[in-house]
């Protein structure tokens, strides 16, 4: 099979460092491993060629509002038509974005269109402010058109699926929950002493780990407060903070309890996780789902997780005792959860091992590629 895969992003931070939608890169890699041909149409930012075995058609990206995405739309259409002229396209896969190109190419090639909804689009619509609201009608129209014409819509959880069904009228049989999962080849248990040595960390200290970025659902205030309480009770504990932080977040997580690693490649993130005993996933009370991708990565590395969620949030980890859930915003409960895991290293390690087994069995990203290939293989 020959797949055309699309995504769009523009993040100035990725001008000089690798980054981007790792879930898409992993999907492409796993499709290639299955013996399929994959052409990835991507903005030339975040070094996409270095992150996937697929054929990457890199489209020059620039951050001029409106003009940047219009340029990307025109350029991706031109090169897509060129690659379609050079060979067939059996399926089109797109991370939801404001683009009519994937749908058009799917129609021209008589191929099935698959759309990946990795977040709540309605949250994006409702939270947009300033000049960005002027483009909302176009964004919503484009999203609705693509979703309604998709053969299958892969959604990150059942709550998003229900919103798409009720608010866009999508048929339930068109929606399929596909959790973010983890790349279990990259995120895997590593020898702690070796990882500490490679990263220059003191192996005599005990570590918590938070891997995140500038995502709006991470509760940095709760993270900072609980880490300071934990390190006051256990002076030999430090917290590794992996990923980008804003100036405001930096003020919260600076000081002796924290070791800031900054943005690192996935393989390095796995090393930081392997140095830790407990990983942290505090989510803001307003966030109505527990879906942090990093929880899967933590579990894949064999580490237990202390996480928070809103009372009515969808909990995809309800069958996983390695993820200790407390109410969002409840500092005391989150503190007790972290301390409970730290007080029983052997028990925490057993939970982490069970979490790894669960992710390998049910949430390995290779399964997404197999499912896509299965749906494409039945194409008429």
Cα gap 109→173, rounded to integer Å: 24
Reported CATH class of domain 192-362: alpha beta
pLDDT given at position 259:
95
- Report residue 336 CA to chain centroid gap: 28
Give the Cβ contact number of residue 154 at 10 Å: 24
Domain ranges of the chain: 2-181+365-377, 192-362
What's the pLDDT tens digit per position in 312-336? 666 778 888 999 999 989 999 999 9
Do residues 117 and 139 touch, judged by C-beta distance below 8 A? no
Closest CA to 123 of 291, 245, 305: 291
H helical segments located in the chain: 22-33, 67-86, 101-109, 121-127, 136-148, 158-168, 192-199, 220-233, 247-252, 266-275, 293-300, 331-343, 345-362, 366-377
Residue 291 has pLDDT above 60, yes or no: no
Residue 281 near residue 195, CB atoms below 8 Å: no
Residue 215: pLDDT band with limits 50, 70, 90: low
More reliable by pLDDT, 289 or 317? 317
Q: Mean pLDDT score of the chain, rounded to an integer?
A: 89
Mean pLDDT across 117-132: 72
Q: What's the whole-model pTM score?
A: 0.88
| SS3 assignment, position 135 | helix
Domains 2-181+365-377 and 192-362 are alike in CATH topology = yes
Q: Cα(8)–Cα(147) distance, rounded to whole angstroms?
A: 16
C-alpha 233/C-alpha 105 separation (Å) is 59
Q: What is the pLDDT of residues 176-203, one digit of tens each?
A: 998 889 999 999 999 999 999 999 999 9
Write down the architecture of domain 2-181+365-377 according to CATH: 3-Layer(aba) Sandwich (3.40)
Query: Is 378 a residue whose pLDDT tops 60?
Result: no
């Amino acid at each position: 099979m020959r797949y055309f895969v699309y995504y769009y992003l523009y993040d100035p931070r990725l001008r000089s460092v690798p980054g981007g939608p790792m879930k898409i890169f992993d999907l492409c890699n796993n499709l290639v491993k299955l013996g399929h041909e994959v052409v990835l149409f991507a903005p030339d930012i975040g070094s996409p060629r270095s992150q996937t075995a697929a054929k990457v058609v890199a489209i020059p990206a620039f951050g001029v509002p409106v003009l940047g995405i219009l340029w990307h739309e025109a350029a991706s259409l031109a090169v897509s038509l060129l690659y379609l002229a050079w060979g067939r396209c059996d399926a089109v896969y797109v991370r939801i974005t404001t683009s009519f190109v994937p749908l058009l190419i799917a129609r021209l090639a008589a191929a099935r269109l698959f759309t990946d909804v990795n977040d709540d689009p309605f949250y994006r619509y409702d939270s947009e402010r300033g000049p960005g609201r002027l483009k909302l009608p176009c964004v919503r129209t484009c999203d609705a058109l693509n979703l309604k014409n998709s053969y299958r819509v892969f959604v990150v959880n059942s709550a998003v699926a229900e919103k798409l069904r009720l608010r866009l009228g999508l048929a339930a049989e068109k929606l399929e929950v596909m959790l973010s999962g983890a790349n279990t080849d990259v995120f895997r248990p590593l020898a702690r002493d070796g990882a500490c040595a490679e990263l220059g960390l003191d192996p005599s200290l005990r570590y918590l780990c938070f891997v995140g970025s500038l995502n709006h659902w991470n509760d940095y205030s709760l993270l900072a407060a609980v880490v300071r309480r934990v390190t006051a009770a256990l002076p030999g504990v430090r917290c590794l903070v992996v990923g980008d932080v804003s100036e405001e977040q930096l003020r919260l997580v600076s000081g002796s309890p924290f070791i800031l690693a900054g943005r690192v490649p996935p393989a390095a993130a796995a090393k930081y996780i392997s140095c830790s005993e407990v990983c942290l996933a505090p989510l803001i009370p307003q966030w109505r789902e527990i879906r942090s991708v990093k929880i899967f990565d933590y579990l894949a590395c064999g580490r237990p997780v202390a996480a928070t969620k809103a009372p009515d949030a969808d909990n995809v980890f309800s069958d996983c005792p390695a993820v200790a859930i407390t109410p969002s915003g409840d500092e005391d409960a989150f503190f007790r959860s972290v301390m409970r895991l730290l007080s029983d290293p052997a028990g925490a390690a057993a939970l982490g091992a069970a979490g790894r087994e669960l992710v390998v069995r049910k949430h390995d990203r290779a399964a997404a590629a197999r499912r896509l290939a299965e749906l494409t293989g039945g194409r008429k």
